[in-house]
């Protein structure tokens, strides 16, 4: 009778994903937070950002009529407001307004997701929301599995 040889699996190193910091909803006088109030759309759009006399560019990976995720290493603190200029592809339209950083995702070598920040639109110049909505109507929404 042969004895079965037990083989131990190699010990796996714990994988650490990106660190996400969110705006504490207890510090914001609003109604209870709603997750994804507007559908998100996968996009590839350049964006110009301004903050306290600084100017830099980022890359929008997903967008809704309520805000954007900007992939960038130039992360601003949660709660900071930014001036946004979103250059909508296939049009001459630049949507402009003010956004608030609601959450950030820090860079991690162990993660395949880019660093960046979730920015909620606080104020958009006249015509900007309509231009964003028309642009998004031509895209399929992303699917997110809400927990």
Structural domain boundaries in the chain: 38-137
119 within 8 A of 70, measured Cβ to Cβ: yes
Q: Which residue ranges in the chain fall short of pLDDT 50?
A: 2, 4-5, 7, 9-10, 12-16, 28-34, 145-147
63 within 8 A of 45, measured Cβ to Cβ: yes
For the stretch 100-112, pLDDT in tens is: 999 999 988 888 8
Q: What is the pLDDT of residue 138?
A: 85
Residue 83: CB atoms within 10 Å: 13
**pTM of the prediction?**
0.71
d(CA 48, CA 58): 6
118 within 8 A of 20, measured Cβ to Cβ: no
For the domain covering 38-137, report its CATH number: 2.40.10.220
Structure tokens at 103: 């959450």
Q: What is the pLDDT of residue 10?
A: 47
């Amino acid at each position: 009778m042969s004895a079965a040889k037990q083989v131990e699996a190699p010990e796996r190193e714990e994988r650490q994903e990106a660190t996400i910091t969110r705006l504490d909803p207890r510090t914001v006088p609003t109604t209870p937070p709603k997750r994804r109030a507007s559908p998100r759309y996968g996009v590839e759009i350049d964006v110009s950002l301004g903050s306290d006399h600084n100017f830099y560019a980022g890359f929008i990976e997903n967008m809704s009529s309520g805000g954007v995720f900007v992939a960038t290493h130039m992360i601003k603190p949660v709660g900071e407001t930014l001036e946004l200029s979103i250059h909508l592809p296939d049009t001459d339209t630049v949507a402009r307004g003010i956004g608030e950083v609601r959450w950030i995702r820090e860079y991690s070598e162990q993660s395949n997701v880019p660093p960046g920040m979730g920015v909620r639109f606080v104020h958009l110049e006249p015509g900007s929301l309509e231009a964003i909505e028309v642009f998004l109507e031509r895209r399929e929404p992303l699917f997110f599995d809400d927990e």
